[in-house]
Amino acid sequence: MRQLSFCVFLFAALLPIYAIGDDEKPDDDETVAAPGSATPSTGSGSAAPAQAEPAPPDPPSPVVVQPVAEPLPPPLPTEPLPASAQPLTLAGLLSGAGRTVVRGYTQIDYGRFDRSLDELSAGTRESLNENSFVVRRARLRLENEWKYVGFVADADFFADGATARPRNFDVHAQLPGAAGQPPLIKLKIGLFPIPFTYQNQSQSAYEIFFVERALFIDGFVPGRYDIGAAVSGHIWAIDWILAVQNGQPIGAADFAYQDPNDAKDFSGRVEVKGELVAGIHAATGVSFLKGTGFSAGTAPTKDTFVWRDLNEDGRVTVSELIPIPGAPGRASENFDRWGLAGDLRIWRDIPRLGELRIDAELALGENLDRFVAPADPVFLGRDQRGLGFYASITQYITEHAQVGLRYDQYEPNIDDLELFEGRSVLTRRTFKTYTAGVSGRLGLPHARARVHLEYAYQQNSLGRDASGQPAQLDNAATRVRFEVVF
């Protein structure tokens, strides 16, 4: 009990000294009364008359803080300095509205195809039936944008039907532009779209009205993405991007996510966007690709023979043994490839309906096809030029419906030669696809749902008639897509 009384006395004696010491002064709006003394004077600073030392009081008096008559208003919230006034520190580099955003979409299709068969492939033993439900895409995307840096992480959980694989993974540094505008300049490295053609570089799968991209785009840049580095920027009404990448898109037949040669592919795109006249907007762009392809070599073979039972008696005779001489191997070789593309888009709002949009794009490539008819000039003995284009028109019917038509044409090898009746004949195998679709849309909180019905008819020369000449191979398709974007 004595120890407790001593602590209370010591606390009461020291607190006034701390409250009115030289380092900590009381606020102007508060007055501190010392124990057993009057309120201190705030006069001109003249010395107070000397007083006899008072006897210590019996019980120590507590410290009393007397508020002023009118209380202070609550303090105003402190506002951070504008970004331009903040010092350039590591914390400043990460400043801004940085928060991780989760996005994604799912596309589930049901299709009916003329080419579908209830059979297995003779080579791969895979099912040839295509009349089924398919999870076409199921993607989840994480992204964050601070002031000067950011990242994107995008994965597809049903790539190739069952396996998950990365789609868009990059980290980037940027110099911010004006409010609501793209960065003035941006440097990124990782896995990102190849900037060749507008539809490949700028449109995600859920942003395209039709079920798939035009055929020539799938041929030139299959899978859309490649690993590399890029620098891009925005000034006035011009957007531009330059990229150096491995040159092996993730949708190519071989070497996905790899690079079989030392050379890299260079590509880029420039776009100008603006208002033509009142209410009518337009955008046009050009893109290029210059790179090096890879022709895989062959291994050497030894002399061997095969037996053909010509008389079908089940016995081996010398006359039925056919020798096959060995061959030296062929070393792998590189070859040059390039591509040029141009695009045009025009759109305007139609009263009481919605946006009317017209798109067109043309692309020419040499040794560039890597999916539809893969180019290998080393094996073929000559270059392979391909030409493709598409034109489409879409119209919103209020915000809940949309209709569209598209025509696309692709010639993978415009110089193709084929032996027919002992003569080499120029054969231009052309794919012409007519597509019509209608969509119903429903807006949800933080999401959007769409049901899309589409019919596509393709003219081609993949079949053969009775005389052996190229003929039409039925390849029409009807598809229904169920899509949710969040």
The three-state (H, E, C) secondary structure of 305-338, written as one string: EEECCCCCCCCCCHHHEEEECCCCCECCEEEEEE
Which two structure tokens, joined as six digits, stand for 469?
């000449």
Q: Where are the domain boundaries for CATH 2.40.160.10 in the chain?
A: 106-297+332-485
Closest CA to 342 of 288, 387, 384, 391: 288
d(CA 422, CA 51): 133
Q: What is the per-residue pLDDT for 8?
A: 38
Q: What is the per-residue pLDDT for 115?
A: 86
Q: What is the per-residue pLDDT for 226?
A: 96
Closest CA to 222 of 2, 412, 371: 371
Question: Taking the chain, what is the end-to-end CA distance rounded to the nearest angstrom?
Answer: 68
**Residue 377: its H or E element:** helix 377-380
Cβ neighbours for 286, distance < 8 A, ≥ 6 positions apart: 269, 270, 340, 341, 342, 343
Residue length of the chain: 486
Residue 257, amino acid = Y
Q: What is the per-residue pLDDT for 417?
A: 66
Q: What is the per-residue pLDDT for 30?
A: 38
Q: Where are the extended beta strands (E) located within 129-258? A: 133-145, 149-159, 163-175, 185-193, 225-235, 238-245
Q: What is the per-residue pLDDT for 386?
A: 96
Q: What is the per-residue pLDDT for 253?
A: 77
Per-residue pLDDT reduced to its tens digit, 290-325 = 999 999 999 999 999 899 988 888 888 888 899 999
Q: What is the per-residue pLDDT for 124?
A: 82
Residue range 106-297+332-485 forms a domain whose CATH class is mainly beta
d(CA 248, CA 230): 16
- Cα torsion angle, 175, 179, 182, 184, sign: negative
- In this structure, how many other beta carbons lie within 10 angstroms of the beta carbon of residue 192? 25
Which two structure tokens, joined as six digits, stand for 341?
């593309």
Q: What is the per-residue pLDDT for 211?
A: 96
Closest CA to 437 of 471, 473, 469, 407: 407
Q: Which residues of the chain have pLDDT under 50?
A: 1-53, 60-88
Q: What is the per-residue pLDDT for 465?
A: 73
d(CA 348, CA 352): 12
d(CA 89, CA 126): 57
Q: What is the per-residue pLDDT for 460?
A: 87
Per-residue pLDDT reduced to its tens digit, 409-449 = 999 998 876 666 656 555 678 999 999 999 999 998 889 99
d(CA 202, CA 476): 28
Closest CA to 293 of 268, 242, 259: 259
